[in-house]
C-alpha cells in the first residue's frame, strides 16, 4: 500500500463493500492508512540520533531512535513518562507527536501525514468527483484523555464540514444563556469511528458515517478546533507548573 493512491484505495474499498456515499456523509479514515499511502514511514535503523534525543531517551527510558523522530515531528515537548513524550503537534496535545510503532511494519515507525487537512481535502475532492455528492472527510488517530484510562478518537485533519458546533448565546433548559460551551463535532465523529476501527488487528481502515449532525463547509479544516497553549485549561497549567518549578 506504500505509495499507492489513497483515493483509489478508498474508492475500490467502498465499491467492494457496496457502499455508495451520499451527500451529508462523513468518511473517517485511519491516519495510518493515509500515512502509509504518503510514505510517512521511517526506518528506525536509518534515524540519526542527536545528543538531545539521546538524553531524552535515557531520561524517559525510550528507544533513542524513537525519541529522535519525536524531536523532529513535535512542535513543543511538554514532558514525558516512561516510554512516551507529551507533545504538541499541529496544535494538538498528543503522545510522541503522533510517531507510533504499533501496527507499523517491524523496524519502522509511522508518522502522521505531513498535511492532514490537505490529505482530507484531496480525498473529499476525489469522492465528490467520482460519486457526484458532497461529503465530509476526516483523518482519525487515537488519543489519550487526561486522567482517563484508554484511547479514544481524534480528528487530526478534515475537510467538508465545520468541526465545531457553537452553543454560545443559546438558552439552556432553564433559559440561561450559554456562555462558553462549544461541541467538537469532528472529534465526536472520530471517536465513533475509532470504536469500530479499534487498535490491533481489526483492519478497518475507514468508516462511513451517515446522518451525522454536520454543517457543510468548503473552507473548514481542523485548525478551527485548535486552541493555543495559553487558552487551554490543561496545557496552560502544565506550562505554569513547569515555570514555577524552574523558579523554585
Q: Which pLDDT tens digit goes with each residue over 146-175?
A: 999 999 999 999 999 999 999 999 999 999
Same domain, 146 and 209: yes
Query: Does 111 have pLDDT greater than 50?
Result: yes
Question: Per-residue confidence at 46, pLDDT binned at 50, 70, 90?
Answer: very high
Q: What is the pLDDT of residues 5-15, one digit of tens each?
A: 999 999 999 88
Contacts of residue 155, defined as CB under 8 A and 6 or more positions apart, other chains included, come to: 28, 138, 139, 140, 163, 186, 187, 189, 190, 222, 225
pTM: 0.92
CATH code of the domain in which 157 resides: 3.30.1330.100
Query: Are the CB atoms for 181 and 167 separated by under 8 Å?
Result: yes
Same domain, 12 and 82: no
> CA-CA distance, 54 to 14, in Å (whole number)?
45
> CA-CA distance, 241 to 248, in Å (whole number)?
11
Question: Per-residue confidence at 241, pLDDT binned at 50, 70, 90?
Answer: low
Same domain, 245 and 129: yes
> CA-CA distance, 161 to 81, in Å (whole number)?
36
Same domain, 118 and 204: yes
Question: What stretches of the chain adopt beta strand conformation (E)?
Answer: 26-30, 41-43, 76-81, 84-89, 92-95, 108-110, 136-144, 151-159, 164-166, 182-184, 206-209
> What would the grid cell of residue 14 be?
467502498
Same domain, 119 and 4: yes
Q: CA 174: distance to chain centroid?
A: 36
Cα angle at 190 between 186 and 192, to 5 degrees?
A: 120
Same domain, 33 and 86: no
Domain residue limits at 86: 41-111
Same domain, 16 and 88: no
Q: How many domains does the chain have?
A: 2
Instruction: State the pLDDT at residue 203.
Output: 87
Amino acid at each position: 500500500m506504500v505509495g499507492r493512491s489513497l483515493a483509489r484505495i478508498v474508492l475500490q474499498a467502498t465499491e467492494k463493500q457496496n457502499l455508495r456515499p451520499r451527500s451529508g456523509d462523513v468518511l473517517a479514515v485511519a491516519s495510518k492508512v493515509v500515512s502509509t499511502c504518503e510514505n510517512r514511514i521511517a526506518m528506525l535503523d536509518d534515524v540519526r540520533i542527536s545528543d538531545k534525543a539521546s538524553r531524552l531517551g535515557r531520561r524517559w527510558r525510550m528507544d533513542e531512535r524513537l525519541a529522535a523522530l519525536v524531536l523532529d515531528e513535535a512542535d513543543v515537548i511538554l514532558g514525558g513518562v516512561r516510554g512516551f513524550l507529551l507533545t504538541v503537534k499541529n496544535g494538538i496535545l498528543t503522545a510522541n507527536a503522533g510517531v507510533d510503532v504499533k501496527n507499523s511494519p517491524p523496524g519502522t515507525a509511522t508518522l502522521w501525514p505531513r498535511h492532514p487537512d490537505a490529505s482530507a481535502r484531496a480525498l473529499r475532492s476525489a469522492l465528490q468527483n467520482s460519486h457526484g455528492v458532497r461529503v465530509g472527510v476526516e483523518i482519525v488517530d487515537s488519543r489519550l484523555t487526561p486522567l482517563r484510562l484508554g484511547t479514544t478518537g481524534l480528528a487530526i485533519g478534515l475537510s467538508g464540514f465545520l468541526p465545531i458546533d457553537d452553543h454560545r448565546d443559546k438558552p439552556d433548559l432553564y433559559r440561561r444563556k450559554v456562555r462558553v460551551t462549544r461541541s467538537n463535532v469532528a472529534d465526536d465523529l472520530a471517536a465513533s469511528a475509532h470504536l469500530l476501527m479499534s487498535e490491533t488487528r481489526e483492519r478497518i481502515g475507514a468508516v462511513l458515517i451517515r446522518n451525522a449532525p454536520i454543517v457543510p463547509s468548503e473552507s473548514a479544516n481542523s485548525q478551527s478546533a485548535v486552541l493555543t497553549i495559553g487558552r487551554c485549561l490543561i496545557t496552560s497549567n502544565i506550562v505554569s507548573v513547569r515555570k514555577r518549578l524552574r523558579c523554585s
